[in-house]
Amino acid sequence: MVVRLATSRWILRFAQDDREIIQKPTANFRDPASDFRPPASPLRPPIFAFRSLLAGLSLLTFNLGATSTSAAPVDLGEKLAYVRLEHLPADVPALVAGWVAPSLIVDLRHAAGELPKDLDDDLPVRARYEPLFALVGPATPGGVLAYLRERAPGIITIGPAATTDPRPDLPIAVTPEADRRAYEAFAAGRSLDSLINEKVTKPRFDEAELVREHANGTDGADAPEGAAAPVESPRSNVEGPGGPVESRTSSVEGQNAPDTNGTPSAAPPTAPTTPSANHPPSSTFDPPGAEGSAKAARPSTTPAPAPPPPVDTVLQRAVQLHRALLALGRLPRG
């Protein structure tokens, strides 16, 4: 009997210890005074969990696709950043990210929308030695430009000369069509470096090339077809009593010049020209250069050269102005 009671107490003690061990982790996260309660509803079936996950991924993909890819700040070197604003207020994060750059270019030529009203904390007032170059056009929202003028006292507006509202501080002589084509080239995948740095190709013609052409006898290879070579009349310098005397002889003078006996010499007779099979008579007179004109009138089979790549002249002028201010010491380098 005593053995049974001792065994029962031993079993009850271990059961109580096991219960405390199981409930101890729960006591760290729940109120000890509250009783454990089972969940009000069972776990969701797997099909509902999969549908919720699929809906969340679809929403995330939609938001990523709606984000403007051209709104990310682009580093142009020398602490100069470029931000393009097209869809507002969706592109505001890009403006906030590029606002910390010492020098900033904000492209507002084709911006649509307005800025939110609570951006004063995200866009602090810039110092005057931190220039802001605003690229403007006829489609630039006036409210956005006015707000940037308040936040950046050193703002400089640059745009095509045809833009009247707003009137740019630095007008650029470029047509609206060319400016639009260069603006869309960046969205099509061209880099800003290719739109700013214009590549000028010209033939190299140095002293070595001149020597090579002279040695090969191709000095007059570039002369146009049909151009007559200049003919110089023969000259002879005769020493007279007062110095050298220049005399010119012509074909007429040669015909009537006296011979050694003092009698004028007659011109040699010319043989009459008779038509032959190789040289048929011609009823019309061909002026000099007619053959070259006929060749020029023929349609050329050479393909037309490809149009030059577009150059963003407005953006190029903003970068050049920044480099000039930097070279003149108007902007801090540190």
pLDDT at 273: 53
pLDDT at 68: 45
pLDDT at 334: 64
Would you place residue 251 in the very low, low, confident or very high pLDDT band (cuts 50, 70, 90)?
very low
pLDDT surpassing 80 at residue 310: yes
pLDDT at 325: 95
pLDDT in tens, 196-227: 887 666 666 678 777 888 788 776 555 445 44
Is pLDDT larger for residue 151 or for residue 254?
Answer: 151
pLDDT above 70 as % of the chain: 50
Would you place residue 290 in the very low, low, confident or very high pLDDT band (cuts 50, 70, 90)?
low
Which of 131-140, 224-233, 255-264: highest mean pLDDT?
A: 131-140
The residue-averaged pLDDT of 92-115 equals 96
The residue-averaged pLDDT of 1-20 equals 50
* Mean pLDDT for the chain overall: 72
CATH number among 3.10.360, 3.90.226, 1.10.260, 2.40.50, domain 69-198+316-327: 3.90.226
Is pLDDT larger for residue 43 or for residue 309?
Answer: 309
β-pairing, 80-84 vs 103-107, is parallel
Is pLDDT larger for residue 106 or for residue 38?
Answer: 106
pLDDT at 211: 83
pLDDT at 140: 96
Is pLDDT larger for residue 301 or for residue 290?
Answer: 301
pLDDT surpassing 60 at residue 272: no
pLDDT at 79: 94
